[in-house]
Amino acid sequence: MPVNLTPPDPASLLPVAGVLLGIASAGIKKPGRRDITLIELAAGSRVAGVFTQNRFCAAPVTLCRQHLTQGTIRALVINTGNANAGTGEEGLRRARQTCEVVAGIMGCATEQVLPFSTGVILEPLPVDKILPALPAAYADLAPNHWSEAAHAIMTTDIVAKGASRQAQVSGKTVTVTGIAKGSGMIHPNMATMLGFVATDAAIAASLMPQLVKDVADVSFNCVTVDGDTSTNDSFILIATGQAGNAEIGDAASADYAALKATLSEVAIELAQAMARDGEGATKFITVQIEGGRDHDECKQIAYAIARSPLVKTAFFASDPNLGRILAAIGYAGVSDLDVNTLQVYLGGVLVAEKGGRAASYTEAQGAAVMQETDITVRVVLNRGKVNATVWTCDFSYDYVKINAEYRT
C-alpha cells in the first residue's frame, strides 16, 4: 500500500483559469476504464516541457518535442494503457493521427496538440479505440476535472496524484495545480513519469524553458523507485496568463522567485507521492547528502544508496543491515572520496564515522528507526558546502509480483 499517502480531495485541486479538462473511456486495456484525458488551453498560453533522455523514447515524446518548437499549444491529449514506444514510424503515424483528430475537434492546427501515452511498450497504439473516444472527452471539458484527470492517467498507481497552491504575484492571486502519474519504471534522466502543472500566471515565453527545467531539477529529478528510466517521461509546464498579473519578464525578479517557489512546491509534492506510491512500497525513504564539493557528486552518492536493491530490501525487512549503505557510498563513483571523514546517520542516529561503525551506535537504535514508515538516511561528506536530496522507497515482494504480472 502507498506509504502515508491518500488521494487528494477533489475540492482541493483548484481550477486554473484558461485550462479545461475532459475525460473519456476508450477501453484500451479494460472495458469501461476512463483512460483518455483531453486538456484544452486558452489562446496565448505558454507551454514548455522536459522529456526522457532514454534513446528509445516513445513516439509521443518525439512529436511533443517537434510541436513545442512550432508555435503555441492549444491542447494536450493523454492515453493510458499503451506507451506507443518501440513502435517505429507506425507509432509516429498513429500519434500524429491522434493529434489530427483532436485538432479537428477543437479547430486548431495539428502542431498545436501535444500527445502523451503511458502503458505497455512495444505494442501498437490502438487508434481504433482512442479516436472514437475523443469527442466524448471534448464534450466532458470542464475547469474542475483535475481529480478525474489524475485518476484517468494512472497505470500501476494505487493513489491518484494531484496538488494545488496559490501565491501573490504583482498583487494578484495566482493559482498552480498539477497532476502526475508514476509508481514504477521511475528514475530520473529528466523527469520520471507524466506530470502536468498549470498556472494562470502571466510569464514571458522566453523564461518558460529554464523555469520548467529548474522546477524538474528540484522535484521529479530527485525521485527514484527502481532505477529504470522510462521511455515516455514528460513534464509539462503551462502558464495561461489569465491571473491578471503584470507579465513576469525578469528571472531575477521577486515575482519570478515567488512563482518558481510555488510551482516547485506543487512539483515536489507530486514527485514525493510517486515514491510513496512506488510499486509495492512499504517505506518512504529520504536520502540527504550534505557537505559535498558539487551537486553531481552529491547526486551520485544519493542515487547509489536510493537505487541499491540490497539497501531497499533491507528497509523492507526493517533490518538494520547498514553496511549495505556504506557499500553503496563506496561504489558511487566519487573516486577521491575519503570515507574516514564522513558520517552516516539513520534518522537521528549516528551509524558510522571515521571509516567504520560509530562507537555510540547500537543495533537496537538502528532497529527502532527501521520500524518507521518515513525514514531519512543522512550522509555528511565534510568536503564542501553542497547538499542534495533524493526520495525513494523500499523493495517488497509485491514489487516483483506487480511487474511480473504487468501485462496480465
Q: Minimal CA–CA distance to 76: which of 243, 230, 236?
A: 236
Residues sharing a CB contact under 8 Å with residue 226, sequence separation 6 or more, in sequence order:
184, 185, 186, 187, 278, 279, 307, 395, 399
What angle separates helix 254-276 from helix 208-217, to the nearest 10 degrees? Answer: 40
Q: What is the Cα–Cα distance from 310 to 313, expressed in whole angstroms?
A: 5
H or E segment at 399?
helix 397-404
Q: In what order do the strands lie in the sheet with 386-393?
A: 356-357, 349-353, 343-346, 374-380, 284-292, 386-393
Burial code (b: 16+ CB inside 10 Å, e: under 16) for 259-294 equals bbebbbbbbbbbbbbbbbbbbbbbbbbbbbbbbbee
SS3 302: helix
Three cell numbers at 11? 475540492
Three cell numbers at 390? 533524493
Q: What is the Cα–Cα distance from 231 to 84, expressed in whole angstroms?
A: 9
Three cell numbers at 106? 477543437
Pairing type for strands 343-346 and 284-292 reads: unpaired
Bridge partner residues of 194 (DSSP): 181, 234
What angle separates helix 323-330 from helix 309-316, to the nearest 10 degrees? Answer: 160
Whether 192 is catalytic is yes
Which one of 192, 229, 240, 392 is the catalytic residue?
192
Phi then psi for residue 400, to 5 deg, are -65, -45
SS3 174: strand
DSSP string, 10-78: GGGS---TTEEEEEEE--SSSTT-EEEEEEEE-TT-EEEEEE---TT--HHHHHHHHHHTSS---EEEE
Are the CB atoms for 46 and 78 separated by under 8 Å? no
Residues noted as catalytic: 192
